[in-house]
Structures are given as structure tokens and as C-alpha cells.
């Protein structure tokens, strides 16, 4: 990925989704950039 655009950043809501996302990125050798959909709004993780 040469640039970070909104469609490149996944959104997750649960811990299971987060773990799946982190595992996929680790398998590909990619850094993890994601947004958590929290009760009080979105949050960078």
C-alpha cells in the first residue's frame, strides 16, 4: 500500500474481529491500522 485512504482502513467491532484482522496482517507482513467502532464513537487502534 502506497497511501492510506479510508477504504484501506478496516473497521471492527469485536475482539474476535480484531484478532482475525491482526492475524491476517501479521501473515502478510503488513502493519495493522484499524478503527474500532466503540460505544462513544470511532477510535484509532
- State the sign of the Cα–Cα–Cα–Cα dihedral 16, 31, 25, 34: positive
Residue 39 has pLDDT above 80, yes or no: no
Round to whole Å and give the CA distance between 23 and 29. 10
DSSP 3-state assignment of 17?
A: helix
Question: What is the chain's mean pLDDT, rounded?
Answer: 78
Q: Which of 2-6, 32-36, 38-42 has the lowest mean pLDDT?
A: 38-42
Classify the C-alpha dihedral 29-22-11-36 as positive or negative: negative
Q: What pLDDT band is residue 27 in, cutting at 50, 70 and 90?
A: very high
The DSSP secondary-structure symbol of 40 reads T
pTM of the model: 0.59
Amino acid at each position: 500500500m502506497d497511501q492510506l485512504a479510508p477504504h484501506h482502513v478496516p473497521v471492527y467491532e469485536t475482539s474476535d474481529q480484531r484478532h482475525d484482522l491482526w492475524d491476517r496482517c501479521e501473515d502478510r507482513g503488513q502493519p495493522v491500522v484499524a478503527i474500532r467502532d466503540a460505544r462513544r464513537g470511532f477510535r484509532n487502534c
